[in-house]
């Protein structure tokens, strides 16, 4: 049995969605990031990087880094439909898309969510948040171009982990009204991903978490 550490207000839900796509069983171990539990000695003995998600395999290996965990699960459980196998012609574009999201969009989103970590003065927080939002949109516009030429999914007619990741992050940019209007192919892809029967409930949960986290932030709380 897999043990998945993570929970509310985190990207752990991406791993849960891959588990759902593959019908893979796991046990959830809730880590409260609002309470700083991810920095506790107990959790650092599992993932010294102090971040969630982390996942312990049935053999006892501890894995971290969301895209790595998702790839691992898909490959181990033969989910070739969401991760093209080595040798498949779409494997190259798939890796480019996934690494683009991981190395370009994800760090920008981290600045958007935790702007206070990137400033020396409190008054610079709104500026960092605005600047990271703009950078993220540039990444989305690049993806939009790719989807316009090759869509409706990143790999054409075939849904993959790239679409899942892109939809997850874009869902947060969508909270600013009309922000994604210049990216219609991205919006179309997001609609398809969110409507996948196995994924629908998870995107419902993400919307509820977004609303709850926004309410916390307006009261001055959140992850420090
Ligand atoms: N590169 C890591 C980043 C993980 C990450 O930043 N997780 C967030 C939750 S979504 C977290 O643990 N935040 C707590 C913190 O940074 O203090 C991954 O993709 O898994």
Query: Quick check: CB of 223 below 6 Å from ligand 1?
Result: yes
Give the Å distance between the CA of 165 and the centre of ligand 1. 14
Element (H, E) at 54: strand 54-56
Q: For residues 15 and 111, what is the distance between their CA atoms, to the nearest angstrom?
A: 22
Rounded-to-integer distance, Cα 136 and Cα 87, Å: 32
**Range(s) of the chain covered by CATH 3.40.30.10:** 2-76
Per-residue pLDDT of the chain (224 residues; tens, 9 = 90+): 999 999 999 999 999 999 999 999 999 999 999 999 999 999 999 999 999 999 999 999 999 999 999 999 999 999 999 999 999 999 999 999 999 999 999 999 999 989 999 999 999 999 999 999 999 999 999 999 999 999 999 999 999 999 999 999 999 998 888 999 999 999 999 999 999 999 999 999 999 999 998 888 788 787 77
Write the CB contacts of 112 (distance below 8 Å, at least 6 apart in sequence).
Answer: 129, 132, 133, 136, 172
Can you give the pLDDT at residue 213?
A: 86
Residue with tokens 């969605």: 17
52: Cβ below 6 Å to ligand 1? yes
Q: What is the pLDDT of residue 176?
A: 85
CATH number for the domain formed by residue range(s) 2-76: 3.40.30.10
- Ligand 1 centroid–CA 15 distance in Å is 13
Identify the CATH assignment for 91-218 out of 3.40.109.10, 1.20.1050.10, 2.60.120.200, 3.100.10.20. Answer: 1.20.1050.10
Query: Which atom of ligand 1 approaches the CA of 66 most closely?
Result: 20
> Closest residue (by CA) to atom 2 of ligand 1?
65
pLDDT of 222 reads 76
Taking the centre of ligand 1 as the mean of its atom positions, its distance from the CA of residue 87, in whole angstroms, is: 32
Reduced to 3 states (helix: H, G, I; strand: E, B; else coil), residue 26 is strand
pLDDT for position 174: 87
Q: Does residue 97 contact residue 118 with C-beta atoms inside 8 Å? A: no
Q: Where in the chain is the domain with CATH 1.20.1050.10?
A: 91-218
- Give me ligand 1 centre to Cα 52, in Å: 5
């Amino acid at each position: 049995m897999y043990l998945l550490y993570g929970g509310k207000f985190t990207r752990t839900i991406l791993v849960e969605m891959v588990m759902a796509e593959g019908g893979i069983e796991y046990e959830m171990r809730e880590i409260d990031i609002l309470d700083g539990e991810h920095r506790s000695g107990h959790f650092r003995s599992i993932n010294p990087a102090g971040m969630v998600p982390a996942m312990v395999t049935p053999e006892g290996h501890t894995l971290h880094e969301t895209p790595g965990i998702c790839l691992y699960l898909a490959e181990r459980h033969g989910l070739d439909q969401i991760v093209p196998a080595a040798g498949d012609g779409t494997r190259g574009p798939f890796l480019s898309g996934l690494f683009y999201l991981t190395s370009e969009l994800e760090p920008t989103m981290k600045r958007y969510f935790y702007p206070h970590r990137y400033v020396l003065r409190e008054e610079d927080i709104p500026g960092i948040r605005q600047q990271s939002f703009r950078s993220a949109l540039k990444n989305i516009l690049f993806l939009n171009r790719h989807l316009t030429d090759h869509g409706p999914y990143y790999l054409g007619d075939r849904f993959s982990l790239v679409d899942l990741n892109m939809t997850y992050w874009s869902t947060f940019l969508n909270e600013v009204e009309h922000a994604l209007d210049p990216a219609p192919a991205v919006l179309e892809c997001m609609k398809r991903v969110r409507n996948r029967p196995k994924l629908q409930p998870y995107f419902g949960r993400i919307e509820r978490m977004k609303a709850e986290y926004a309410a916390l932030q307006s009261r001055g709380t959140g992850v420090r």
